[in-house]
Amino acid sequence: MVELIFLGTGTSHGVPVIGCNCAVCRSNDPRNHRTRPSIAVRTPRGTLVVDTTPELRIQLLRERIERVHAVLYTHAHADHIYGFDDIRIFPHYTGCPVPVYCEADVGRRLRSSFAYAFQERARQLPDGAIPKVHIVPITAGVPFEVVGLRVLPVRLLHGRWPIVGFRFGRVAYCTDVSAIPEESWSLLQGLDHLILDALRYRPHPTHLSVAEAVSVIERLSPKQAWLTHLCHEIDHEQLARELPAGISPAYDGLRLDVTGSVELVG
């Protein structure tokens, strides 16, 4: 079985937002409680996570994920990398550094923000003391293999920042996106599941709005689409009623069986 788990579906603020008393932030609907955006993909050969949010430890405990065998990064904004220290426990279990797949600029940011993990003396510390990782550079449009999956990084734009989404077979994860470059549209055809950024109803300079996300989905025509990176202006139940058939808002803890959409390799 190959399973995709939504670890977080919120924005950089999370939902509820600190100090906000809006209806969504006060909601009792657990689907309106959103941690920072991330997914896990579990295969018979291991588990990967896409991005390490500040709530990574809480997310993994909540979903009872005991081992992470690889980390993929979409980009280096704080809400996507600042749970990096939480992966330090995994070499204690596996006996080897965690492979981290990212573009060169993300690797530089990790080395800068978490310099203690990359010092020479760090290698002498016991497993579990600090993150022990092996950074593997990736290039948009060039596939690689990890935990039995063929992964294709897809170039996306997050405002003026070039970032990547990831395609696993007929499943694609595209968070923090405001535009899809022309050369990337063909890489997102023929999907069973498309997970797409849809920050809010109003336009935003670095994220797709709900209407813009729906327009992208209509052009790509996946069998099913899931909206993520939802802010506190969006009530889950209301949005679910408004969306066209085949499009649904995701929520923290949602699990998808994607076994038939992903072919294991290697």
Please state, in angstroms and as integers, the Cα–Cα distance from residue 205 to each residue in 52, 147, 252, following that order: 24, 35, 25
Q: Strand order in 193-197's β-sheet? A: 144-146, 149-158, 161-168, 171-174, 193-197, 224-228, 247-249
Asked whether the beta carbons of 64 and 38 are under 8 A apart, the reply is no
Q: Pick the closest to residue 106 from 128, 123, 82 (CA basis).
A: 82
Residues 39, 26: Cα–Cα separation, whole Å: 25
Task: Return per-residue pLDDT of the chain as tens, 266 residues.
Answer: 999 999 999 999 999 999 999 999 999 999 999 999 999 999 999 999 999 999 999 999 999 999 999 999 999 999 999 999 999 999 999 999 999 999 999 999 999 999 999 998 877 888 888 999 999 999 999 999 999 999 999 999 999 999 999 999 999 999 999 999 999 999 999 999 999 999 999 999 999 999 999 999 999 999 999 999 999 999 999 999 999 999 999 999 999 999 999 989 97
- Please tell me the predicted confidence (pLDDT) of residue 250: 98
- Please tell me the predicted confidence (pLDDT) of residue 120: 83
- Please tell me the predicted confidence (pLDDT) of residue 123: 77
- Please tell me the predicted confidence (pLDDT) of residue 122: 75
Residues 140, 79: Cα–Cα separation, whole Å: 21
Q: Which amino acid is located at 85 in the chain? A: D
Contact partners, residue 243, CB within 8 Å, separation at least 6: 214, 227, 249
Residues 161, 31: Cα–Cα separation, whole Å: 30
Residues 29, 236: Cα–Cα separation, whole Å: 8
Question: Does residue 165 sit in helix, strand or coil?
Answer: strand
Structure tokens at 20: 């906000």
Which domains, ranges and CATH numbers included, belong to the chain?
3-249 (3.60.15.10)
pTM of the model: 0.97
